[in-house]
Structure 1
Amino acid sequence: MEKLYIIIPAYNEEDNIENTIREWYPIIKKYNGNGLSRLVVVNDGSTDHTWKILCQLEKQFPLLTALKKKNGGHGSTVLYGYRHAIDKNADYIFQTDADGQTDPAEFDAFWELRSEYDAIIGKRSVRGDGFSRKIIENMVCLLLRLIFGVKIPDANAPFRLMKASLIKKYIKKLPRDYNLPNIMMTTYFSYYHENIAFREISFKPRQGGVNSINLRKIIKIGWKALGDFRRLKQEM
């Protein structure tokens, strides 16, 4: 009878959003024993037809909730979704992205582990989004090990099932608009020895549209992240 909230941030995903919802909706329908579970898509100020499509689909799928916020980036949108789920008294929160890179068929294996762990996080040994993204992820994990002393195989995988109580415990440590919340959540879980597990997942190439993150943005985000990591470590 657990209340599950699936959180999906979306920015300019008109090419993917309908297919993403149609793929993930059977999951929320399957695990909706209490009638209160929801598939929540948070529109991050899209400038294309993402919001219009969401509003149309909301009429077709009763367990779909479409939320709208001012553009603030992927991280702030994820946090917005987490806070919404906590406010709605969710028991479990699952987060994935709207670009079609994750596989809903792999959710069941995570759900079956929910009584054994407080968080189950995806691990992408093979990435369909290119070798450069794998290098960036490896660099992030190296920084986390150097700064926080934690050994993490994949800090930012958008395929994670977590107890809402665990997110509530740590979300207050982050600025409201923090741009890398999943990385820091994973870091907090590891640093404070929470009961978590990493499980292998597949990770496909983006299924449509254009990735809004380019090399220049990655460098800018990385430089800011370095300063943020050091500041957050001091606050531990």
Structure 2
Amino acid sequence: MQNPRLTIIVPCYNEEAVLPKSAHILDGILTDLIQHKQVNAASKLLFVDDGSQDKTWKLIKSLEKQYSTVTGLKFSRNFGHQNALMAGMQVASPTAEIVITIDADLQDDPQVIPEMVARYRAGSDIVLGVRNDRSSDSLFKRWTADGFYRLMKRIGVQLVPNHADFRLLSQRAVQALLTYEETNLFLRGIVPRLGFPTTKLYYHRQPRFAGVSKYPLRKMVAFAFDGITSFSIAPIKVILLFGMVISGGSLMMMLYALIQGLLGTATSGWSSLMTSLWFLGGMQLIGISIVGEYVGKIFAEVKHRPRYIIETDDYTATQQPAIVNSQRVHG
């Protein structure tokens, strides 16, 4: 096997606090791989600026001058983490035999990247970075994460527990992934569906050395719900089940009220009436909201708007001219 060309894709959103150190570490790892002839000398680091509001893009431009391996890609605005990953893969796929995606904070251990490459050379098209424990997380986060993975498994979604977006993909795996054209991306659910030879590589997650997490609780909940509704109609089935249970209960209550009326023992019950009304009203609103979520996803998909718009592409400028002309379609 010839030395494959590797592109390490790093999505960035307001990461000026971590970029200098992250670039230094990743450049060192990539340079070492090149020197040991594990990857091609044309391999690159691709930092994708997802519409940052700080000095992230200026730093990327500065890093391009400092490191020969560094290139950048800039969105016209913020399009989201998953779209940043897809953009990086689409731009890199014509020339890179393998891509590795990793977040800029390097909490996912970059020191296992050489082993990822070794697994690829041994025949794996997909190498998933999987956390070996969640001891660095709070008790609440561990509990909610475990509950999420159990729920996804129960509703039939193929997820790898404790795997986020730290992975290696071969060129053919990337090309297959790019055929998924949905607007609502949940890569953790799509990648296991590709079906190519896959291995798991376990690592210990590191604490964030600077900056703040870009996934607070609100975004984590939204991301989890997006994953559920992108791959399963189970929530609608749950609503149907609740509706059947409540309808059955209502029939029983009607029968009970009829019997009480015939016996002449019926009494007015304002509290029970109001409780029933509030409960049923709440269930209806929940049901409408969940169905609306699916309708909204359909609305977003059928418009076929681009998932992202690239403002500046320094990566293709370093490739062959023929490749530059082929990179004008942005999802």
Note whether the superposition's TM-score is higher than 0.5: yes
In structure 2, relative to structure 1, the CA distance for the partners of 1:172 and 1:67 (3 Å cut) is same
Structure 1: which 4+ aligned runs deviate by more than 4 Å?
Answer: none
CA separation in 2, counterparts of 1:104 and 1:45? 24
**Which of 203, 224, 227 matches 2:226?**
224
Residue in 1 that maps onto 2:241: none
Which ranges in structure 2 are unaligned for 5 or more consecutive residues? 234-331
Residue in 1 that maps onto 2:23: 21
SS in 2 for 1:112: helix
How far does the alpha carbon of each residue in 1:13-70 deviate from its partner, in whole angstroms, 9 at most, with x for none? 1110110000000222233453321110001010011111111111011111111012
CA separation in 1, counterparts of 2:109 and 2:226? 31
The code of the aligned residue for 1:98 comes to A
Structure-to-structure mapping, 1:39-54, within 5 angstroms: 39-54=45-60
Aligned identity (percent) is 26
CA separation in 2, counterparts of 1:166 and 1:196? 10
In structure 2, relative to structure 1, the CA distance for the partners of 1:108 and 1:67 (3 Å cut) is same
Q: Per-residue deviation at 1:150?
A: 3.6
Residue in 2 that maps onto 1:110: 116
Q: Note if 1:159 corresponds to 2:161.
A: no
SS in 2 for 1:224: helix
CA separation in 2, counterparts of 1:39 and 1:22? 11
Residue in 2 that maps onto 1:97: 103
Residue in 1 that maps onto 2:64: 58
CA separation in 2, counterparts of 1:81 and 1:66? 9
**Which of 160, 171, 175 matches 2:178?**
171
Q: Per-residue deviation at 1:4?
A: 0.5
Residue in 2 that maps onto 1:234: none
Q: How many residues align?
A: 224
Residue in 2 that maps onto 1:11: 13
Which ranges in structure 1 are unaligned for 5 or more consecutive residues? 232-236
SS in 2 for 1:31: helix
CA separation in 2, counterparts of 1:55 and 1:129? 34
Q: Note if 1:126 corresponds to 2:133.
A: yes
The code of the aligned residue for 2:129 comes to G
CA separation in 2, counterparts of 1:188 and 1:104? 25
CA contact (8 A) 1:76 1:178 kept: no
Structure-to-structure mapping, 1:61-72, within 5 angstroms: 61-69=67-75, 70-72=77-79
Residue in 2 that maps onto 1:184: 189
SS in 2 for 1:59: helix
Q: Per-residue deviation at 1:208?
A: 1.2
SS in 2 for 1:8: strand
The TM-score with structure 2 as length reference comes to 0.62
Q: Per-residue deviation at 1:112?
A: 1.4
CA separation in 2, counterparts of 1:86 and 1:95? 13
How far does the alpha carbon of each residue in 1:162-213 deviate from its partner, in whole angstroms, 9 at most, with x for none? 21211211331242x54432x0233314xx4x31111211111222112122
SS in 1 for 2:119: coil
Give the greater-gyration-radius structure (CA). Answer: 2
The code of the aligned residue for 1:141 comes to Y
The TM-score with structure 1 as length reference comes to 0.86
Q: Per-residue deviation at 1:129?
A: 4.2
Residue in 1 that maps onto 2:87: 80
Residue in 1 that maps onto 2:306: none
